């Protein structure tokens, strides 16, 4: 029966849901989006085309792509009043805190796309979320560094627009390097969707109550923030910096193997992949390209990362536990080389994953049979018992 599996003898539970969007074979390290491998999409496609594919199930014709790109481009600005939200935060607020709040607040601004029973309003909400996430993420970043927000431009592609909104200042225009824009776009593509991960399941569960899409995506952003999930890219880079030099790698490998030490190698391991995460393979190539372009191929963090990967993969413990580098292992190194602070790594993951969340939201809304039911539990608490008055308690 679809959707039901047994993972403990005698204990059955329903899988999160059926879905036709993304397929992962954790044992073989395979990731497909609507049947296309992530490797081919990262090499031959681009993020907005992958957005179209995830949403509608097929690669677009040239005319369909032009129309889709035009609709997204023309919705990249946020409501002028939304700018006021940012100034309500302390300057040292984490950009993820700002994104959770501002995306949730979109429900208060875009009433004309809240009736989720109306396909056209669902489409409007979808386009608005894809279009505005880079603007919101960039504005959150600018706010935390005390610089003025930069408005999007319609003559730039999606990734270039985001880079410019992050790094342009009134005093000096930021000329987007096409190789960096391509690397940025590839990072967006590699994080676009990933089956029923924690944040996507959060979005589906929130959506199953009929909550509006902006509130559901805000719930996904909140879940992604955790260091075991989307927060791992920030935690990974901070770990690599803490290791600092290649000679300290054995100490951290030993800690990761020590059951009494809660330390885990950030950027390693995965709930599903028990072989290489195919996204890490693409990102590793991208890291070399970007760092060479920026003339920082001798970046000490990258050297530590490469030696750490080598040491971990050569260690029988990690082979036995099937722990390989995941998508977060190299993404942080590229983003740092581009000039992003670690606090922006997870917001970029959230920006990228919005299409996965909203595609799976759309799939579920359009086929109620795919709704996640109300999860049940195995009760392990006290049996029914009578109330005792305080004077009788020991």
Q: Give the footprint of ligand SDX on this chain (CB under 6 A).
A: 194, 197, 228-229, 232, 256, 264-272, 321, 323, 326-328
Q: Which is nearer to ligand SDX, 153 or 271 (CB)?
A: 271
Name the residue with tokens 């960039």. 138
End-to-end CA distance of the chain: 51
Instruction: Classify 387 in phi/psi space as left (phi over 0), alpha (psi -120 to 50) or beta.
Output: beta
Catalytic one among 33, 46, 75, 270?
270
Q: Which is nearer to ligand SDX, 328 or 363 (CB)?
A: 328
CA distance linking residue 101 with residue 274, whole number of Å:
35
Burial class (CB in 10 A: 0-12, 13-18, 19+), 280: buried
Residue 327 C-beta: closest distance to ligand SDX, Å: 6
Residue 322 C-beta: closest distance to ligand SDX, Å: 6
Is 328 one of the catalytic residues? yes
Contact in structure between 312 and 255 (CB atoms under 8 Å): no
Structure tokens at 206: 């929130």
Q: Which is nearer to ligand SDX, 186 or 270 (CB)?
A: 270
Residue 323 C-beta: closest distance to ligand SDX, Å: 5
Catalytic one among 328, 367, 383, 392?
328
22-25/4-8 β-pairing:
unpaired
CB-based closest residue to ligand SDX: 269
Q: What is the CA radius of gyration of the chain?
A: 22
Is 118 one of the catalytic residues? no
185 closest CA partner among 46, 92, 312: 46
DSSP H helices, 152-231, are 158-167, 178-190, 198-207, 213-224
Residue 241 C-beta: closest distance to ligand SDX, Å: 16
Burial class (CB in 10 A: 0-12, 13-18, 19+), 226: middle
Residue 336 C-beta: closest distance to ligand SDX, Å: 16
Distances (CA, A) of 221 to 25, 199, 214: 25, 7, 11
Q: Which is nearer to ligand SDX, 160 or 359 (CB)?
A: 359
Q: Which is nearer to ligand SDX, 55 or 312 (CB)?
A: 312
Residue 306 C-beta: closest distance to ligand SDX, Å: 17
Q: Which is nearer to ligand SDX, 115 or 261 (CB)?
A: 261
Q: Which residues are catalytic?
A: 270, 328
């Amino acid at each position: 029966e679809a959707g039901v599996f047994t993972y403990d003898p005698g204990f059955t539970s329903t899988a999160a849901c059926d879905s036709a969007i993304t397929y992962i074979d954790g044992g073989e390290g395979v990731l497909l989006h609507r049947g296309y491998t992530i490797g081919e999409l990262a090499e031959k496609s681009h993020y907005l085309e992958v957005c179209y594919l995830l949403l509608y199930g097929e690669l677009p014709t040239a005319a369909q792509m032009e129309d889709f790109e035009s609709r997204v481009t023309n919705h990249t600005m946020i409501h002028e009043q939304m700018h006021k939200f940012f100034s309500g935060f302390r300057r040292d607020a984490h950009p993820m805190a700002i994104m959770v709040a501002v995306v949730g607040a979109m429900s208060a601004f875009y009433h004309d796309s809240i009736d989720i029973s109306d396909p056209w309003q669902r489409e409007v909400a979808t386009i608005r979320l894809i279009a505005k996430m880079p603007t919101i993420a960039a504005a959150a970043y600018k706010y935390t560094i005390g610089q003025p927000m930069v408005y999007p431009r319609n003559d730039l592609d999606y990734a270039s627009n985001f880079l410019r909104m992050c790094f342009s200042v009134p005093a000096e225009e930021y000329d987007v390097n096409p190789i960096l824009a391509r690397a940025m776009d590839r990072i967006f593509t590699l994080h676009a969707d990933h089956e029923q991960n924690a944040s996507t399941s959060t979005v589906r569960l929130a959506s199953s109550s009929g909550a509006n899409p902006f509130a559901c995506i805000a719930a996904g952003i909140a879940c992604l923030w955790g260091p075991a999930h989307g927060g791992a890219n920030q935690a990974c880079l901070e770990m690599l910096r803490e290791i600092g030099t290649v000679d300290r790698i054995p100490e951290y490998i030993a800690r990761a193997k020590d059951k009494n030490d809660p330390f885990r190698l950030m950027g390693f391991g995965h709930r599903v992949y028990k072989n290489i995460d195919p996204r890490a393979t693409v990102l590793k190539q991208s890291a070399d390209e970007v760092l060479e372009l920026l003339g920082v191929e001798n970046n000490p963090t990258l050297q530590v990362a490469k030696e750490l990967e080598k040491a971990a993969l050569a260690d029988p413990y990690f082979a036995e536990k099937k722990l390989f580098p995941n998508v977060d292992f190299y993404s942080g190194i590229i983003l740092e080389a581009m000039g992003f602070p670690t606090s922006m790594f997870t917001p970029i993951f959230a920006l990228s994953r919005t299409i996965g969340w909203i595609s799976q939201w759309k799939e579920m809304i359009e086929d109620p049979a795919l709704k996640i039911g109300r999860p049940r539990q195995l009760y392990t608490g006290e049996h029914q018992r009578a109330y005792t008055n305080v004077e009788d308690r020991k």
